[in-house]
A and B are shown apart, each in its own frame.
Chain A
Amino acid sequence: MAEVRLEHVTKRFSEDVAALDDLTLEVADGEFLILVGPSGCGKTTALRLVAGLEKPTSGTIAIGGRVVNDVTPRDRDIAMVFQNYALYPHMTVYRNLAFGLKERHTPKPEIERRVREASGILGLDDLLGRRPAQLSGGQRQRVAMGRALVREPKAFLLDEPLSNLDAKLRVQMRAELKRIHQRLGITTIYVTHDQVEAMTLGDRIVVMSNGRVQQIGKPQEVYSRPKNLFVAGFIGSPPMNLLRGRCTDGCISVGELELPWSGPDAPEVAVGLRPEDLRPAGESGPSLEFVVDVVEPLGNEVVVHGTTTGTAVESGAEEEAEIPLVAVGARAAITAVFEPADEPSPGDRIRLRVIPERVHLFDLRTREAIGR
């Protein structure tokens, strides 16, 4: 076990584009760190640099206090789980698990012991004689984990290990990964684009975009205090509603809504409202007018899409395939999450309660959060 440290690491695949731009990061011994961001944000590159599959253009990488820039993957003593598992198709599960130990000339009884131990932890005992082609997706995933476990490495590197599983298995394996980490306490760097995995698994999460770190912090911290517009739009599902507004004369105004403001004036701000903070308004307090458009009951909650007066702001975290936050006429599309008992019907006009302390503010010029 060991800590992993990256200092001012930059990786360029071509002259003009930095896949990773000046990344400085410290992963504590035994920590479960998540690298999260949209595809192409540099998270996988960062992981491959730690693994030694790529060489940094500049900067240093240290594992357990030793600079490993010029150390081969073999001698870094790390284990990696690939997105597509990369199991050796021509070997049985047992030989897949044992391969890394054999290559390191581990004595046979020791290999046997470690393989049995890992297969016990992962429930692979009955599958040791099978080949990868004879396994289900979940089983392959376990073997891939097992291949990393048997090595008892200084650090685990996981590259979207759950993304090829169906939704149900993914939830199961997520919990299992957490259980394994709690049991073994091995330093882990976990790459994902799934923010639910990021929130649930990580001791800390690193939100990345365009090769740069946007924010590092505990999941709750990143969720409740996003440092900039990108993080605000990326973390949280459904994503945070962002509306154009301004802070002047002791007042934040968004559309027709006005909230008290004590900070310095800012002519152009994005006002962030988490869908789960928007509830049907009671008698008093500030509120937002809202016309219901689409209602999605999820059982434990109801996601309500609709519009309000104002202009939506894009965070830059929207996925390309996703429809950008469109203005409907002169109105902005927003989302709220209600209790099942409050389920509205399409076309309803409701007022949404806004809690002033839960409102996030971002300067639209710098895209950074405005502190309060």
Chain B
Amino acid sequence: MSEIQTIEPAAHAAEEPAAEPRGGRFLFSSWHLVLIPIAVVMVIPLVWMLVTSLQTLDETRHYPPSLVPTSLQFSNYTDVLQQAPFARWFVNTLLVTLACVAGNLLFCSLAGYAFARIRFFGREVAFILILATLMVPFQVVIIPTFLIVRSFHLIDTLGALILPNLAGAFGIFMLRQFFRTLPVELEEAARIDGASRLGILFKIVLPLSGPALATLAVITFMWTWNDFLWPLITIYSPNNMTLQLGLATFQGAHQTNTNLLMAANVMSMLPVLLLFFVAQRYFVRGIATTGLKG
């Protein structure tokens, strides 16, 4: 008790003089000694990629590698666009990603709401089964999923990439947890006001679930955008490839045009980076609320 009392005035006292240096933008804390090196480690590969994408092929083979471009080969980017159906891959990826995001938002909301609020026979068992699928590695279900998708005659179509990923256990779990935190009285009030179950979900629950939905959208976007293994298995026509798959074709068996590969990489990363910057507030908070690692 006495500790709290002594700390409080001290904290106030510390805050006031701090107002001045805060204007100077150099508020250094000992955490920076840890954070700055980590940030450097995280950023170097990105910088290296960006630099390489602007080098000539010869420069990329230089040893030790240079992190400073000597000649700015912006032509690498145009070369990529000419050498490969890059635009097509981009559109494919975008279509698949948007479809998966939309599907996850819709279906995980429906399922999550049912698990959160509707009492039905076998609810707990069904929920645990769904949760259990989170523990099954993807490699284990590749073959069954492939067989199912093949039976729909979707192999080598974008449908093969969309259909199995329209809903996921993670999204259902996350949204259920979030929905359960909403005050149940709001839903009861809406029921008395005459709203149906779906009406309550779409008019009351979802509008109040912005952070959770944004998190799910961002996570689904990143997962789908960066997915490589599943497209590799189901897609073989260059026209139906996604970016990640297409980029791999730059890595030839005999020769790799590293500079072109990196230029393509930069372009494929832009939407994800953009999304991350726009949504990072939600992204960080959303993961914090679920208590799970993305």
Residues of A in contact with B (beta carbons under 8 Å apart): 51-53, 72-74, 78-80, 82-84, 86, 88-90, 99-100, 103-104, 147, 151
Residues of B in contact with A (beta carbons under 8 Å apart): 183, 185-186, 188-196, 199, 203-204, 207-208
Q: Which among A52, A90, A99 is the interface contact of B193 at CB below 8 angstroms?
A: A99
A82, B194: Cβ atoms closer than 8 Å: no
A53, B191: Cβ atoms closer than 8 Å: yes
B188, A104: Cβ atoms closer than 8 Å: no
In the bound complex, how far is the Cα of B194 from the Cα of A73, in angstroms? 7
B188, A103: Cβ atoms closer than 8 Å: no
A90, B192: Cβ atoms closer than 8 Å: no
In the bound complex, how far is the Cα of B188 from the Cα of A52, in angstroms? 10
In the bound complex, how far is the Cα of B192 from the Cα of A90, in angstroms? 18
Q: Which among A53, A72, A78, A89 is the interface contact of B188 at CB below 8 angstroms?
A: A53
Contacts known (A84-B183, A84-B185, A86-B183); A79 close to B190, Cβ less than 8 A: no
B208, A82: Cβ atoms closer than 8 Å: no
Residues of chain B within 8 A (CB-CB) of A74 are 191-196
B194, A103: Cβ atoms closer than 8 Å: yes
Chain A residue at minimum C-beta to C-beta distance from B191: A73
B192, A104: Cβ atoms closer than 8 Å: no
Residues of chain B within 8 A (CB-CB) of A100 are 192-194
Residues of chain B within 8 A (CB-CB) of A147 are 189, 193
B186, A86: Cβ atoms closer than 8 Å: yes
Chain A residue at minimum C-beta to C-beta distance from B185: A86
A86, B189: Cβ atoms closer than 8 Å: yes
- Between A72, A83, A99, the greatest number of chain B beta carbons within 10 A of the residue's beta carbon is seen for A99
Q: Which among B183, B186, B192 is the interface contact of A73 at CB below 8 angstroms?
A: B192
A-B contact pairs, 5 of them (CB 8 A): A51-B188, A74-B194, A86-B189, A88-B190, A90-B208
- In the A-B complex, the 10 residue pairs with the smallest Cβ-Cβ separation, listed nearest first, are A100-B193, A86-B185, A103-B194, A86-B189, A74-B194, A90-B207, A73-B192, A73-B191, A82-B185, A104-B194
In the bound complex, how far is the Cα of B204 from the Cα of A103, in angstroms? 12
Residues of chain B within 8 A (CB-CB) of A88 are 186, 189-190, 204
In the bound complex, how far is the Cα of B40 from the Cα of A292, in angstroms? 77
In the bound complex, how far is the Cα of B186 from the Cα of A84, in angstroms? 10
Contacts known (A86-B183, A89-B208); A51 close to B193, Cβ less than 8 A: no
In the bound complex, how far is the Cα of B189 from the Cα of A100, in angstroms? 9
Residues of chain A within 8 A (CB-CB) of B194 are 74, 100, 103-104
Residues of chain B within 8 A (CB-CB) of A89 are 186, 208
